[in-house]
Amino acid sequence: MFIFWPFTIISLILAIFAIMLNKRKILYISSILILPMSLYLAATPRFEVWGLIFPLLYVGAGISLKKKTRWPALLLVVPNYLFFVWLGYIVINQ
């Protein structure tokens, strides 16, 4: 559990830098960093499918940056932020 949250936070920060700098390789690194938390979530009954979608959203944003479009990349990264902020809020307030 100690490795999941730091990697997730680093992944979210790197995603913003990748979109600001138009560096799709950083988004691919972010998808690898968020993979442990996603696999952990996929093992829970409530987030079976959703846990595996989060790295794919980063890959989709990387493909969008490859096509030189920034807005779709930003829209693909936003669900990761919303979900992990919500999950962090739930974990802290338990």
DSSP 70: S
pLDDT tens for residues 61-92? Answer: 999 999 988 899 999 999 999 999 998 899 89
Domain limits of the chain? 4-92
What's at 37, amino acid-wise?
A: M
Asked if 1 and 13 count as a contact pair (C-beta separation under 8 A), the reply is no
- Whole-number CA gyration radius for the chain: 13
Q: Using the predicted structure, report yes or no on whether residue 2 has a pLDDT greater than 80.
A: no
Residues 53-61, mean pLDDT to the nearest whole number: 93
Q: What pLDDT sits at residue 9?
A: 92
Residue with tokens 């988004």: 27
**Per-residue pLDDT at 33:** 93
Confidence band of 1 (pLDDT split at 50, 70, 90): low
Global model pTM greater than 0.85: yes
% of the chain residues with pLDDT over 70: 99
- The CA-atom distances, in angstroms, between 80 and each of 49, 51, 52 are 14, 10, 12
Distance CA 93, CA 51 (A): 21
